[in-house]
Amino acid sequence: METTEKIVESYVRYVKGWTTIANIKCEGQFEIDLIAVDPRTGDKYHIESGVSVSGSYSKLTTKPFSPALLKKRMEQAGQRRTLGYFVERKFSAPGVVKKLAEHGFRQGKYQKIIVTWGWTPEAKKQADKRGVILWDFPDLMAEITERFKDDKIYFTDDTLRTLHLYAKSVSRHKQEIQ
């Protein structure tokens, strides 16, 4: 599991309060990053992460997605930053849909979420049109920091422990400069 995926899972678990299953292997060499259920409402979520801080590949775009270009090493990064990549490959591949159904996720009965480092206005517009929710990774980090800055809990989860220490550091630093 990538670091950003671990951070997203920690956010979903400890800030949102949802239960999760991560890294679900599917037929055809596919993988679901994260599924989550809000135990208070029963709402279900399929969450995929695609976070990059590389200047030319940070934002999610509506550039055309091509499975053929995805196989070319020099084109992979750009292809993975397209809305089409997520819609066609991460959310709609037959093996993914089948595996989601095995976990009780029925088409139209759950939310699809992409976590990314920003997006173009056209990508937001198209995502809304397709019923895909976009979460901005820096916003998640800020929300995690705000949520845990005053907590005195000791987390044994390595990712959450790191985020908690970061939040406490940011909080202390802000207090010292005021």
What's the CATH number where 104 sits? 3.40.1350.10
What is the reported pLDDT for 78? 80
Number of domains in the chain: 1
Cα separation of 18 and 16, whole Å?
A: 6
Cα separation of 131 and 109, whole Å?
A: 11
User: Do the Cβ atoms of 35 and 24 come closer than 8 Å?
Assistant: yes
Low-confidence ranges of the chain (pLDDT < 50): none
Cα separation of 16 and 38, whole Å?
A: 8
What is the reported pLDDT for 55? 66
What CA dihedral angle connects 115, 83, 53 and 9, to 10 degrees? 20
Closest CA to 48 of 121, 109, 127: 127
What is the reported pLDDT for 56? 66
Which range marks the domain in which residue 39 is found?
Answer: 3-177
Task: For the beta carbon of residue 108, count every other beta carbon within 10 angstroms.
Answer: 5
User: Do the Cβ atoms of 59 and 120 come closer than 8 Å?
Assistant: yes
Reported as a single tens digit per residue, the pLDDT across 7-37 is 999 999 989 999 999 999 999 889 999 999 9
Contacts of 148 (CB under 8 A, 6+ apart): 14, 163, 164, 167, 168
Q: Report the predicted TM-score, pTM, of the whole model to 2 decimal places.
A: 0.89
What is the reported pLDDT for 74? 82
What Å distances lie between residue 43 and 4, 40, 46, 76, 109, CA to CA? Answer: 23, 8, 11, 33, 8
